Structure 1
């Protein structure tokens, strides 16, 4: 299916969704957008797109509708609030947000009852990755729907990976987030020990980044420590805790043996301000 024959709808023009939508349009896909607040559409002034006054209108005119909203509850409300009922049979709804596998399965069932396919396709990389078009997109859902949508995902991603059925994309995202936070806990432990020995912290970071102890978490912490405003650090702290809440809920819901990962992940999320403070000296 060529770019000119796949019409993509988009809902959620926020910090990450806006550059994702712009990337889709920039690659030649007809872009349809709807927003609760018309002011949000002004950010697409320089991007080819067709705005819709109603969610139903967007649904009827789209082959694929990508959602980049805050919570599973927001996704479910959109899906059952007119989106799935007004899309043609065989079209696809895609959730790019972070949620739980169980909720992805429930939302997929609501879509299936209306003859619409569903993919959970959370992304990793934040706004910077969306702008650079280097997001990692993790997808759960039917292979045929994934194959149809993958070219559109590649407009904003450097890697698009199909992991299995509904919920697999969300599980992969939660595991990825938790591993990052576990790495942050390790970084905090190492820096605390370095302080005990009065080791030059910045020099140590240079060693760790160049050596086998490096990680994406270390790179992000080192790069942002001296340039990120305190209010952004506080926001990041809140976001990481929300991600851990989702991971814990998913593990409890499936009765998974994940106590160690949950505890270590929370430790990493809570200690981000400590890491930044140490690296900012």
Structure 2
């Protein structure tokens, strides 16, 4: 990823003040990594208890969104849905940011919403990047995420040292929305791979093959994949129902994005949805 020289995070401007909103399962380890990389971290949360997630690192907590916005050079958002981001921006956040600030949306959404966010920011001379991440909570904690960036190249370059604080790979894909499009394709292919795995293991189960041993072989063989590696690690009996629901929500986003662009993706969508829907039963089979 970084042939011929150091990572940008090793040489980047550590005087950039980074704001963070969204200290949940994914956002908290991102914010922690940013602070530990040496960037001044500023945070705000609707619930004061959420700030406990960054208690172990240096940070400045703000009582209001406006106070946070006025103090930062880059504002990272890691909230659940596009509408949440749009509500924040229109409810005074964009207006409170200093001209030249960059807003980064790390949540997963549709490209058209990213374009709306960029326009809201541009009205206040604020830059915008969509930068969803792949790797889940485990990748955030281990700082091995893949970050997919859409937006102006100069802004992406400016923020790359921040992204590298929690990423193993940072890819600039092109204009605003291209990061979200890449994330949706990434998620869709992962779920299609789940469907393949579910079908293969169903056949193996009908032959009374020891599934645990087979999965161990497949993980180490040429059939190995992220989906296989995640079984029993990122995907467990305890969290599989939640993950399945999140995947189905992601497929709603994918279907909407494809419909907006008139892409012939019905068969791909159906296959991925089948993979998401079958995940719970797969884990039940493997943990019998």
Q: What range is the shorter-chain TM-score in?
A: over 0.9
Structure 1 residue 267 corresponds to structure 2 residue 277: no
- Write out aligned runs for 1:169-188 (5 A): 169-188=179-198
Aligned equivalents of 1:234, 1:208: Cα separation in 2: 24
Cα distance in 1 for residues equivalent to 2:256 and 2:282: 26
Aligned to 2:258: 251
Select 2:123's aligned residue among 97, 102, 113: 113
After TM superposition, the runs of 4+ consecutive aligned structure 1 residues lying more than 6 A away are none
> Are residues 53 and 202 of structure 1, via their aligned partners in 2, closer, same or farther at CA, if it must alter by over 3 Å?
same
| CA positional deviation for 1:207 | 2.2
Give the SS at the match of 2:231: helix
- Which residue, 217, 233, 237 being the options, matches 1:228? 237
2:16 maps to: 6
Summarize the Cα distance change of 1:33–1:220 in structure 2 as closer, same or farther, 3 Å threshold: same
CA apart distance, 1:43? 2.5
- Which residues in structure 2 correspond to 1:1-281 (within 5 Å)? 2-223=12-233, 228-229=237-238, 232-281=239-288
- Is the CA contact 2:237–2:284 (under 8 Å) kept in the aligned structure 1? no
Give the TM-score, by structure 2 length.
0.93
Deviation at 1:261, TM superposition (A): 0.9
Q: Which runs of 5+ in 1 are unaligned?
A: none
Equivalent residue of 1:61, what SS?
Answer: coil
Whether contact under 8 Å (1:108, 1:119) holds in the other structure is yes
For residues 102-129 of structure 1, the C-alpha deviation after alignment (integer angstroms, 9 at most, x for no partner) is 1111111111111111000001111111
Residues 73-109 of structure 1 show CA distances to partners (whole Å, capped at 9, x for unaligned) of 0001111212211112221000000000111111111
Classify 1:202/1:258 alpha carbon distance in 2 versus 1 (closer, same or farther; 3 Å): same
Give the Cα–Cα distance (whole angstroms) in 2 for the partners of residues 145 and 43 of structure 1.
Answer: 28
Other structure's SS at 1:205 match: helix
Contact 2:149 2:173 in 1 (8 A): yes
What residue in structure 1 maps to residue 7 of structure 2?
none
d(CA) in 1 for partners of 2:34, 2:19: 10
